[in-house]
Amino acid sequence: MKRKGIGNFKYYVGISSLEQLATREDRVCVLNLLGGESRTVSPVSHTFSGGNIVFGTSPGRAGQVLKTKKGNIPVYNNVREGLEAGHHFNTGVVYLPPSGVRDGVAELVRVNPELRKVIILTEKVAVHDAREIRAIGQMEGIDIFGANCLGLADSWNRVRLGGALGGDHPEESLIKGSVAIFSNSGNFTTTIAQYLATGGWGTTTSISSGKDVYIHFAAPEFIYAFSNDQRSKAAVMYVEPGGYYEHDLQINKPIVACVVGRWKSKLNRAVGHAGAMAGSGDDAEAKEKWFMEAFGVNDIFTPENRVFSEKGAVVTNIAHIPLALTEVMNLSRIEPDFEPMGDLSLKSWFGDSKGLALPAELDVPTVEAIPPYKGQIQELNKQIGRIFPRTNMKDASGVSIMDPKTQITKLHGRSILDNSLKSLESNLCFALLREHNGPNDNALTNIAIAAQVNLYGEMTIQAADTAREAGNAPNTVLSAAIAMIGPNRINRQQQIIAAFIDLFSQSGLKDGMKEDFDLSNIEIPEGLRKLLVADAPDEKTEAILSAITERNAKSLFVKLLRDLQEPVHMDAVLAAIAMTIAWSPLARKRISKITAKNFPWYLTIYATLIGASVDGSHHQKDSYCGIPNESLLRSWTFGEIAYLTLLGNQAAPEQLFAFQVLTGLLVSNGPGSISSQGSKGAVAADGPETPNRVQINKAMIGFLTHTGFSHGGAGFEGVTHLVDAFKNTNLTDPSDPNHGLDLTEMARSFAIEYGKQKAALKESTGGRMKAIAGLNHPVFKNKPVNTDPREVFIDELFKKREQYNVFHEYYQTLARQLFEAGVTHNVFCVNIDGVIGAMLLKMLWSQYREGQLNSRKLEVAAFTIFLYGRMMGCAAEINDHINRGKNMDTRTPASQCRYVS
Amino acid sequence: MQLTGMLYGSRLLNYVGFPTAEVLGPEASEDEIQRLIEKHGTIFIKPLFKGGIGKKGKAGLLGRASNLKTALQEKERLYFVEHKVKNTTAKAQGVTFEGGVPADHEVYFSITDSTRYRAPVITLTHKGGVAIEELEKKYVAEVPFDALTGLKAFVIANALSDIGAPKEIDSPLVQQLPKLWELFHHYGMTTLELNPIRMMPGKGGRLVPVACDFKCGFDRDDPRWERLSLPHHLFTVEHSDFEQEINQLRTYQGQSDVYVINDQGTILAPTFGGGANSLVSEALGDKAIISSDFGGNPPYEKMRDVARICYKHWLKQTNVLFVIGGKSNNTDIETTFRAMADALQDHFNQNGPTPLYVVIGRGGPNLIRGMGAFKDTLDALGLPYRIFGFDSAMSEVVNYALAADDWMRAGGRQEVNNLLGIDE
């Protein structure tokens, strides 16, 4: 059934010399030319080989072309169409999926009588199909290479057939010389060529044989063709365990054989190369022995134990190949092909010990890479900040994720519970910069906010007050204010930041607070100077600079301004503050340049959102909410300012702590929450692929418009429930555990009454009672006693701090009494809304008792505190979407939308 | 993917109409066993192993009974028996009861692919029932044949003639054995072995070949085996949970071969390329947790999933994360490194930091961008690392990784813990 081939092979072999394997005359047809792998590999092969691919196939894509530097490769539906169009080829290259390989080969053979070679790149071809492919090749007299190989290459002919030997720069590895390579490993075909160059050896023909059970063009055929190739003075063979391909080879020229895989004899099933399972008598040890017998040597060659003969040497480490080859060839007085190119010593291209005292053998220095990589590394090092790949960000977030099991959201990988223990100013920056502030960053953040929270004489507060007077909810009021903070308001700060980044990106500056950084090589360009310098000193700017000194805050960028010894613009100082805080994460590629540039915009918006939540009467020329501007600048924290705004007085430390925990808990519920969706939609609509056009203030309005009395008012419902429960008591101080109230009795009475009403309602109308705000949760509901882990966290946190909250205890008591009274089938959890309500009412109770807060004001306060927390999480989503998103990526395809009549 | 024993073997042979011994499974009732004894006189009790393990007879794991009491005693002895061959230990999960087949002749027959002939080959002897390698060569026929025409009757006839088989077995074997090609070739097998086939006298004294033991191996890259509707659990025993999870990602795009070398190891080495895998696994020895080949240009999502699973199972015990490969030809380094780095970031995000020393050695397309992506992540995570170019000998990089592991064991791990603020 087989054709007669060359030599004395029992089977058909058509290649008599390696010279014939990959020639300039070979013409190629690629099956599945437009497939993922072929699409990238084939143009390189085609160009390197002088344009040897005559056409490719891809069913249904006839008429298309694959562009290459050597011209377009036409595509046909099938091989027959390509031949009918007048093309001729002798080599078929198969990139089909495994299930299509056998039929692809059969078709190549059937329709093209000129076919001589088939190279199969596909991995995981079934043995069944390989069996039949073998038989087809034998019957028709076709040499087959692979499957699961990387094809053939010839350095003399500058031809690459099939796969990707030499990668995207074949000329780097395929250096003309005198050594033929045959390798079971595609990767090692190239790696060995690379290693040989370090010994001064180039290559003739390289064969990646494949590594399946059926290796169609295997060691015996290689040896035969190698023997007849006048160009090849020696060969390197890389072989793995499995199969008798290397048994009894008729070797007549020097060979270095590398046999790897002794460890595989321990295995009980194939691993790595499919054919490379240790069987009976064909494991690595046996193969080493076959080669040692052929070479007349009695040991493995190592640099320390150089065992070799004129015929060859056996190595088990590919790094030993160049030396072994040189030694073997020396005996025949054959010199290397060229001067050694480089060496194989350890060369660390990148490294960082992170300050650890490493032993000398680990503490290897970083060295310059070889060209062209050296240049690429230099370019990489010039790049400051991270670049995020763009992807569809609908319902996705690179910053937040809520665990559906625990309902705990993480922001930048940290639980919001942990984040809530941090100060408000730290959380503010963390949302955008992915790192919490140190004390210096906190001081600078506080100054930036304090400098911008007083909106006296600003359009922002006028807009906000107008909206407020029209009866709008806080979110709408704040939207009106920040609509005024458009791009023009921030443009100068952004330009300054961009110029700072250009100026310092190659300076080696790691930390923006290092005022002792050597500025002698930093020269401020005229364009930047113009942006920094003001016509005349400005009182407010000077106050900010004084506050920086007063707080002993360090900033290299502020120092740079001071060194100008001229009046500077307030925007310059605010930009310098923002740059100082953002520099470190930027330098360490935690954030992008886009984020750094937009950071002062977020700070201005944050300050405006806080300021605009109280009416214009609180904004005076010299003071804010009764506190002198200078005092705010010099000593107040952002948390204290926010508390002052909402509650009208300076917080005691524990009050401030509780306030910060509360806002911290509200930061995010993941990208699925309505507020996040609103902010992400606003970014998508502007088109994040042109990030400079995204209006961050509008995106924040997107967040605000996607909050409301339902989404943002949950805390208020809890407050309302608690007010109803406590309004008729004589409670004065909710933090006093000796309040004198019988909470159990209060809860029991409520539970009994609630139960009665519930039963009556069910009996009368079959309806259901409204759920009690703050109790129960759809996830935490099936245990005898249920808890919400967030509530547990808060409960334990404040117990540890000995901070009592009567409302929180009441909620816990109520959950128990509802069960005791038979109203609920198990003990409901106190949910996070209950906790928020309890914490909020504790803060507002004295004002409520004093009659300063009516129901409406209470609701506004509850809503506003939600906005204070959520503005940070949404700023994070906005920033993330600008960095990663695609234009209009939040829309829903029409096919997934429903019409409801 | 291997299968041994007659419980499932007889079912498979029935697909092609090849006669088999009568078999009862572990669930057989005493009445059924009694009936089997009554019918056949003698029955054999064999432990049931998942996967492929041989030499059971030699290990005394073959029970024989001609009454119920003995049969039940043998059942008790063999039901959970442990069997060790070389490095493989298997634990029985039940027994089979197989009716004895009286015969004067025992035949060995197998089909597999031969790398000597580069073709499917049969091995046949009329002196079966023993290990084939123990027989004199003159009694063993090894005959290649054409895969396209298949195993034909004349191939069997010629082979029997070559080894001088008794003529009374010729005709029944020539008639029955070619059926096995159908089973072998059309259901994705790589080996099929029946030993012994006992030549039982049938009607009119004509001999009938009856398969009394069965072994086969399936090609896991060939979906044809699924046509047999064998329960998947038969093959799961070969894989650890980790391997099982990785195998679920097995597609033709990108290799995803993994093997747990030492579940107490401390170097986690995702390796790229079969060659690199061999070299690295050999050099790391039992310091390596897994042996792997993740080359073949896997897409981002797959690589990220593979890395995620590796980290999930092994990162906690890992001292050195060692990403290693040669100079890749087509595997995109940026894609694979970004995926692995992103998975590492995710793992830290979800599980908190873990002390690692990271060693990377690689070459290939988009190398510097890939190294840059990994470096940025390692910087962000605060981990110490060295990244080597492909102009460093891979074996030297392996030695560096081993030295890093030694250092981590000798107090370095605690130092990295201190660096990351971990109380381990």
pLDDT score at B256? 59
Distance of residue A225 Cα from the nearest chain B Cα, in angstroms: 18
Distance of residue A62 Cα from the nearest chain B Cα, in angstroms: 25
Give chain B's mean pLDDT: 89
Q: Which residue in B188, B327, B364 is closest to A126 by CB distance?
A: B188
A382 in contact with B, Cβ within 8 Å: no
Q: Is residue A393 part of a domain?
A: no
Q: Which residue in B278, B297, B396 is closest to A261 by CB distance?
A: B278
Taken in order B241, B242, B243, B245, the sign of the CA dihedral is positive
Token reading at A823: 């109203």
Q: Do B390 and A218 touch (CB under 8 A)?
A: no
Helices (H) and strands (E) in chain B, counts: 14, 20
Contact assessment for residue B321 and residue B307, using Cβ atoms and an 8 Å cutoff: no
- Pairs of residues, one from chain A and one from chain B, whose beta carbons lie less than 8 Å apart: 293
Q: Is residue A350 part of a domain?
A: no
- Map A518-567 to HEC letters: CCCCCCCCHHHHHHHECCCCCHHHHHHHHHHHHCCCCCHHHHHHHHHCCC
Residues A589 and A699 in one domain: no
What is the domain count for chain A?
A: 3
Distance of residue B232 Cα from the nearest chain A Cα, in angstroms: 17
A280, A310, A331 - which closes a domain: A331
Token reading at B195: 């030993």
Residues of A in contact with B403 (CB under 8 A): 359, 361-362
A606 in contact with B, Cβ within 8 Å: no
Q: Do A125 and B117 touch (CB under 8 A)?
A: no
The residue among B19, B46, B55 whose CA lies nearest residue B133 is: B55
Residues of B in contact with A362 (CB under 8 A): 386, 400, 403-404, 407
Closest chain A residue to the Cα of B259, Cα to Cα: A271
Contact assessment for residue B69 and residue B76, using Cβ atoms and an 8 Å cutoff: no
Q: Do B276 and A187 touch (CB under 8 A)?
A: yes
A578 in contact with B, Cβ within 8 Å: no
Q: Which residue in B190, B273, B389 is closest to A369 by CB distance?
A: B389
Taken in order A648, A649, A651, A655, the sign of the CA dihedral is negative
Residues A617 and A482 in one domain: yes
Of chain A, the percentage scoring pLDDT greater than 70 comes to 98
Task: Read off the pLDDT of residues B219-269 as tens digits, 9 standing for 90 and up.
Answer: 988 989 988 888 877 776 567 788 888 877 765 555 557 888 899 999 999
Q: Which residue in A124, A238, A262 is closest to B221 by CB distance?
A: A124
A387 in contact with B, Cβ within 8 Å: no
Vertex B188, ends B182 and B189: CA angle to 5°? 80
SS3 B334: helix
Q: Do B329 and A187 touch (CB under 8 A)?
A: yes
pLDDT score at B313? 95
CATH of the domain at A242: 3.40.50.261
Residue B296 in this model has a pLDDT that exceeds 50: yes
The residue among A335, A239, A229, A215 whose CA lies nearest residue A294 is: A239
Tracing tokens 């069965």 back to the chain, one arrives at B214
Measured N-to-C along each axis, helices A593-611 and A696-705 cross at an angle, to the nearest 10 degrees, of: 50
Q: Do B275 and A352 touch (CB under 8 A)?
A: no
What is the pLDDT averaged over residues B297-301? 83
Q: Do B376 and A376 touch (CB under 8 A)?
A: no
Neighbours of B413 (CB within 10 A): 21
pLDDT score at A273? 37
Residues of B in contact with A136 (CB under 8 A): 148
Residue A38 in this model has a pLDDT that exceeds 70: yes
pLDDT score at A510? 86
Q: Which residue in B219, B388, B389 is closest to A126 by CB distance?
A: B219
Task: Read off the pLDDT of residues A827-882 as tens digits, 9 standing for 90 and up.
Answer: 999 998 899 899 989 998 998 988 888 878 888 888 999 999 999 999 999 999 99
Residues A847 and A747 in one domain: yes
A884 in contact with B, Cβ within 8 Å: no
pLDDT score at B207? 93
What is the pLDDT averaged over residues B208-217? 93
Token reading at A31: 């099956």
Instruction: Determine the distance from the C-alpha atom of residue B381 to the mean position of all C-alpha atoms in its chain, rounded to a whole number.
Output: 38
Closest chain B residue to the Cα of A247, Cα to Cα: B116
Q: Do A164 and B329 touch (CB under 8 A)?
A: yes
Residues of B in contact with A316 (CB under 8 A): 282
Instruction: Determine the distance from the C-alpha atom of residue B393 to the mean position of all C-alpha atoms in its chain, rounded to a whole number.
Output: 32
The residue among A584, A571, A554, A604 whose CA lies nearest residue A428 is: A604
Q: Is residue A407 part of a domain?
A: yes
Residue B298 in this model has a pLDDT that exceeds 90: no
Residues A766 and A891 in one domain: yes
Q: Is residue A424 part of a domain?
A: no
Contact assessment for residue B87 and residue B108, using Cβ atoms and an 8 Å cutoff: no
Q: Do B393 and A345 touch (CB under 8 A)?
A: yes
Task: Read off the pLDDT of residues A209-220 as tens digits, 9 standing for 90 and up.
Answer: 998 899 999 999
What is the pLDDT averaged over residues A145-169? 91
Q: Is residue A8 part of a domain?
A: no
Task: Read off the pLDDT of residues B137-155 as tens digits, 9 standing for 90 and up.
Answer: 899 999 999 999 999 999 9
A272, A301, A331 - which closes a domain: A331
Homologous superfamily of the B240-420 domain (CATH) = Succinyl-CoA synthetase domains (3.40.50.261)
The third-level CATH classification (topology) of the domain covering B22-99 is Dna Ligase; domain 1 (3.30.1490)
pLDDT band at A387 (very low <50, low <70, confident <90, very high): confident
Residues of B in contact with A126 (CB under 8 A): 188, 219, 221-224
Q: Do A373 and B367 touch (CB under 8 A)?
A: yes
Radius of gyration of chain B from its Cα atoms, rounded to whole angstroms: 27
Residues of B in contact with A267 (CB under 8 A): 87, 259
Distance of residue A665 Cα from the nearest chain B Cα, in angstroms: 19
A758 in contact with B, Cβ within 8 Å: no
Residues A410 and A442 in one domain: no
Task: Read off the pLDDT of residues A737-764 as tens digits, 9 standing for 90 and up.
Answer: 999 999 999 999 999 999 999 888 888 8
Residues A775 and A852 in one domain: yes
Distance of residue A130 Cα from the nearest chain B Cα, in angstroms: 10
Phi-psi region of B117 (alpha: psi -120 to 50; beta: other; left: phi over 0): alpha
What is the pLDDT averaged over residues A276-282? 55
DSSP string for A583-637: HHHHHTTSS-HHHHHHHHHHHHHHHHHHHTTS-GGGB-SSEETTEEHHHHHHH--
SS3 B323: strand
SS3 A624: strand
Distance of residue A798 Cα from the nearest chain B Cα, in angstroms: 25
Mean pLDDT is lowest, of A106-110, A268-272, A298-302, A605-609, for A268-272
Q: Is residue A340 part of a domain?
A: no
Instruction: Determine the distance from the C-alpha atom of residue B413 to the mean position of all C-alpha atoms in its chain, rounded to a whole number.
Output: 36
SS3 B65: strand
Contact assessment for residue A433 and residue A581, using Cβ atoms and an 8 Å cutoff: yes
- Output phi, psi for A121, to 5 deg: -90, -25
Residues 184-203 of A with CB under 8 A from B: 184-191, 194-195, 198
What is the pLDDT averaged over residues A653-680? 94
Token reading at A348: 């660390």
Contact assessment for residue A601 and residue A578, using Cβ atoms and an 8 Å cutoff: no
Residues of A in contact with B281 (CB under 8 A): 263
Residues A552 and A675 in one domain: no
DSSP 8-state secondary structure symbol assigned to residue B263: T
Strands (E), A129-283: 143-145, 151-154, 159-161, 176-183, 203-208, 234-239, 255-259
A300, A331, A362 - which closes a domain: A331
Find the helix or strand (DSSP H, E) in which B24 lies: strand B23-24
Distance of residue A585 Cα from the nearest chain B Cα, in angstroms: 9
Tracing tokens 């020396």 back to the chain, one arrives at A330
Structural domain for A718, as ranges:
398-419+666-901
pLDDT score at B301? 81
Q: Do A134 and B118 touch (CB under 8 A)?
A: yes
What ipTM was assigned to the predicted interfaces of this complex?
0.86
Residues of B in contact with A213 (CB under 8 A): 113, 115, 190
A360 in contact with B, Cβ within 8 Å: no
Instruction: Determine the distance from the C-alpha atom of residue A719 to the mean position of all C-alpha atoms in its chain, rounded to a whole number.
Output: 41
Q: Is residue A33 part of a domain?
A: no
Q: Do A238 and B275 touch (CB under 8 A)?
A: yes
pTM equals: 0.69
Residues A476 and A502 in one domain: yes
- Output phi, psi for A44, to 5 deg: -70, -45
Out of 3.40.190.10, 3.30.470.20, 3.40.50.300, 3.50.50.60, the CATH code matching B106-228 is 3.30.470.20
Residue at A193: amino acid letter: A
The residue among A475, A474, A423, A843 whose CA lies nearest residue A644 is: A843
Task: Read off the pLDDT of residues B371-420 as tens digits, 9 standing for 90 and up.
Answer: 999 998 998 888 999 999 999 998 899 999 999 999 999 999 999 998 88
Find the helix or strand (DSSP H, E) in which A349 lies: strand A348-352
pLDDT band at A272 (very low <50, low <70, confident <90, very high): very low
pLDDT score at A275? 40
What residue spans in chain B does CATH classification 3.40.50.261 cover?
240-420
Taken in order B306, B308, B312, B314, the sign of the CA dihedral is positive
Q: Which residue in B252, B391, B412 is closest to A97 by CB distance?
A: B252
pLDDT band at A280 (very low <50, low <70, confident <90, very high): low
List, in sequence order, every residue forming a beta bridge with B195; answer none if it has no partner: none
The residue among B314, B312, B301 whose CA lies nearest residue B342 is: B301
Residues A629 and A674 in one domain: no
A362 in contact with B, Cβ within 8 Å: yes
Distance of residue A238 Cα from the nearest chain B Cα, in angstroms: 9
Residues A877 and A754 in one domain: yes
Contact assessment for residue A130 and residue A123, using Cβ atoms and an 8 Å cutoff: no
A380 in contact with B, Cβ within 8 Å: yes
Task: Read off the pLDDT of residues A60-80 as tens digits, 9 standing for 90 and up.
Answer: 999 999 999 999 999 999 999
Residue A227 in this model has a pLDDT that exceeds 80: yes
Q: Is residue A783 part of a domain?
A: yes
Q: Which residue in B327, B369, B404 is closest to A191 by CB distance?
A: B327
What would you measure as the largest C-alpha separation in chain B, in angstroms?
A: 86
Task: Read off the pLDDT of residues B308-356 as tens digits, 9 standing for 90 and up.
Answer: 999 999 999 999 999 999 888 888 999 999 999 989 988 987 788 899 9
What residue spans in chain B does CATH classification 3.30.470.20 cover?
106-228
- From residue A744, alpha-carbon distances to A723, A751, B227 in Å are 17, 10, 67
A222 in contact with B, Cβ within 8 Å: no
Residues of A in contact with B390 (CB under 8 A): 191, 194
Q: Do A350 and B385 touch (CB under 8 A)?
A: yes
Task: Read off the pLDDT of residues A430-489 as tens digits, 9 standing for 90 and up.
Answer: 999 988 899 999 999 999 999 999 999 999 999 999 999 999 999 999 999 999 999 999
Residues A765 and A645 in one domain: no
End-to-end, the C-alpha distance of chain B in Å comes to 40
What is the pLDDT averaged over residues A567-593? 94
